[in-house]
Amino acid sequence: MFDLSGKIALITGSSRGLGLSIAKALFNSGATIIINGRNQETLDKASKKINHNESMIYKRPFDITNIDDIHKNISNIKKEIGTIDILVNNAGIQSRELLTDIKISDWDNVLKTNLTSPFILSQAIVPGMIKKKAGKIINICSITSEVTRPSIAPYVSAKGGLKMLTKAMAIEWAQYNIQVNGIGPGLFKTEMNTALVEDKKFNNWVCERTPAGRWGEPDELSGTAVLLASKASSYINGQIIYVDGGFLSSM
């Protein structure tokens, strides 16, 4: 049920962090994977981390906030590799500023990367899934799709929107045997969170606030990604699975 042999998966923002772990998990489950980021050198390094001989791995450096780049690359992928069966909208950015200090340009950039780009990518890829009457879209949401804290308003606005976009996609595309679900990571040790991990006060708060008593490790997201990419989730649709060490369940 979890075998992804013969499937083609595109994972955005997969040169490091959670995206790299998800790409590795899908690859290890048999999928041909397409990793994405803006930097070719970083993608080359990531590819070798997944599989040293780089077989069944394609690297596509393009900007997911550029609509022309998206359509050009999706078209090329279809011609050169095949129809995408699994899309993981993982790429995201953060901007930490209080509401009174947020620049409009920063707000726009976070919303464009974390919310608008998943919409445009999904819209570009879904016709192929509709034609095959099968497909999986996984949107990487966040615990901040549900809760927030000071200084991350653009991020939580985007991730809250992505939760509802996931549900909108699910109800419109379910008729074509396409399942659209989300994963909501809790606080994970990734490059984006390095400063927070190294902040003793914040680190202590995370460990005390999370029932598991620690940060999540990127590979701990892998099983959920494989589930949602596989036949095992054929009747799961429009759901957000929170992988958070119990964070959202605790007062």
**Is 242 an annotated catalytic residue?**
no
Find where tokens 């990367």 sit. 113
Q: Which residues pair with 35 in a beta bridge?
A: 11, 59
Q: What share of the chain is helix, strand, coil (3-state, %, to 5)?
A: 55, 15, 30
Cα dihedral 250, 153, 216, 166, rounded to 10, equals 90
* 36, 234 contact by CB (below 8 A): no
CA-closest candidate to residue 247, choices 202, 214, 201: 214
The one catalytic residue among 155, 176, 235, 242: 155
CB neighbours (10 Å) of residue 212? 14
What are the catalytic residues? Answer: 155
